[in-house]
Amino acid sequence: MLNNLRILSRTPSVIKHHQLATFAAGCFWSAQLHFQCVTGVISTQVGFINGRTHEPTFEEVCADTTGHALAVQITFDYTAVSYEDLLEYFWAIQSSYEGLDDMDLGSPHRSGIYFHSDAQHATAVASKSKQEALLARDIWTEIAPAGVFYPADDYHQRYLEKGGHCVHDDKHPCSGSL
């Protein structure tokens, strides 16, 4: 026990500045690729959130039998990038997929913001209201507490970087396509 305390006391203080953000933005491969380019994002992983079953598979989620959303979970340094900034990036990604059939409400590819704190909840609601005012229409993006996040298999992690493709055929976002 004492050794563990010593190890914890040597943990860099920078970890204290890390938070989670979880977004569903259609194709989780594309969302991951976009978010990993943001300065201040420490890591990203794709997976499934807010469904009815435990340990869902990609096939089960895509068959819409589990209620999960395909999502990207982001670890970020809030001293380098704010949650509000990540939301702005989320809306930019969303607008590039507007009108696609796979964005139907209730589907695994639905649009969602899954908050990890009361502060994130308030920021997400305000951000959505701002976007609706800018667009002069309602936005079909759910805002809900982040439930259990199940990481997808390794095959799906950084899939587009490994040569995979997505129906959105994104240019690499780190080159400034957004």
Catalytic residue positions?
27
What distance in Å separates the CA atoms of residue 77 and residue 15, rounded to the nearest whole number?
Answer: 8
Instruction: For residue 13, tell me if it sits in a domain.
Output: no
Determine the pLDDT at residue 119: 98
pTM for the structure as a whole: 0.82
Instruction: For residue 171, tell me if it sits in a domain.
Output: no
Instruction: For residue 148, tell me if it sits in a domain.
Output: yes
Instruction: For residue 174, tell me if it sits in a domain.
Output: no
Domain of 31, in residue numbers:
18-158
- 66-86 pLDDT per residue, tens: 999 999 999 999 999 999 999
Q: How many domains does the chain have?
A: 1
What distance in Å separates the CA atoms of residue 170 and residue 76, rounded to the nearest whole number?
Answer: 23
Domain CATH number, residue 84: 3.30.1060.10
- 121-174 pLDDT per residue, tens: 999 999 999 999 999 999 889 999 999 999 989 887 887 777 776 655 455 454
Determine the pLDDT at residue 98: 52
Lowest mean pLDDT among 39-43, 61-65, 167-171: 167-171
Instruction: For residue 128, tell me if it sits in a domain.
Output: yes
Alpha-helix residue ranges (DSSP H) falling in the chain: 2-9, 28-35, 58-62, 83-96, 118-135
